[in-house]
Copies of this chain bind each other. A is one copy, B any other.
């Protein structure tokens, strides 16, 4: 049994966190520096953006977790520390500050930054904020979740309890990211903690497998960020027999992991920049898993589908169009499409052609906060789900003048 619990990234044994305003942002009520520290060194796995332009913190983090272990995470918002000539130097200094204030070796620190690209990040506010940040370390997942937000409107944290070999384990996470979101290996920033004992190799295996059906199926605007970092740290303090190979325990762990990542994906999509609703595309009946994934993501990525969802307009022709150019192996003359939500279901397309439906009924279904575009390819046994949101005036507004 997997049960939702409180505590976010601090729910698993051994993890403390905090978030403060240190002055990277001008707005003094907005926290901009977060820290997560484990009592012990943790098996650690990460996946990063595939963008060739990579934030400097990613380069430093890669080096620091190369041995499969880490003990702390430091993150700032308000500045991505990307495309800056001195970026790596600043990221290294952030790790050194963690060592100086917590005793965790700089080489065991995961560092991340999020915000504007191409503006130099000053180390001064971070150095000045460290004392307050470390003094407040405790059961403060919420403060850390707040401190990593950029244009996010709600903080995102989650935790579950589960069992491995009869031993109670926990897994928790915080994350952020509502624009420049089309992860390709990971989303903007997500930090997952668990007290389950998992070897670094199995942790990496679990994470890399999981993102294919979680974060890689999420898209707000099809812009793959330069700073995407997904990191999981396993303290092992739950006391289960360490997972060192695939098997029943590994499967149980992967299931809990997917509960966390998929729930977070839904939250990220629902809070997409300017979004008024969460749009989920479920593709089934596909010839292959790959075909299902490509098809679902193409629908979620279409600006025209997204704008139609904003207008609660049952313009299913745009869904067919997006399926047609997806690059997936499918038979357009077999496709069925339904729109569903808490308000009901409306069947709009059968075998690739329109069927009569009530526009009024469709409007009612599509006016909900969560809408599902259900696509049946009737061509095989594979399925996939992608998450996104509608395209709104506010998305344009937020991104027409982000830097000022």
Contact = CB atoms under 8 A, between A and B. Distances in A.
A402 B304 CA distance: 10
A139 B225 CA distance: 52
A124 interface: no
Interface in A315-331: 315-318, 320-325, 330
Nearest to A84: B353
Contact of A404 (B80, B119, B313): B313
B308 A400 contact: yes
A111 interface: no
A348 B28 CA distance: 29
Contacts of A354: 83-84, 118-120
Nearest to A115: B317
A117 B318 contact: yes
Which of the listed residues A52, A120, A304, A392 has the most CB atoms from chain B within 10 Å of its own CB? Answer: A52
B310 A396 contact: yes
B320 A399 contact: no
A85 B353 contact: yes
A222 interface: yes
A332 B84 CA distance: 12
B84 A52 contact: no
A84 to B, nearest CB: 6
Contacts of A119: 354
B396 A324 contact: no
Interface string A287-322: 000000000000001111001101101011110111
Interface residues of A, number: 64
A368 interface: no
Contacts of A33: none
Contacts of A320: 53, 83, 117-118, 226
B307 A395 contact: yes
A397 B390 CA distance: 12
B352 A311 contact: no
A224 interface: yes
Interface of A: 49-54, 80, 82-85, 116-120, 179-180, 182, 184, 221-226, 301-304, 307-308, 310-311, 313, 315-318, 320-325, 330, 332, 349, 352-354, 391-393, 395-404
Given A180-B318, A307-B396, A313-B401, 13 more contacts: A52-B323, A83-B354, A117-B315, A118-B317, A118-B320, A182-B325, A221-B304, A226-B317, A303-B395, A313-B403, A315-B402, A392-B396, A393-B393
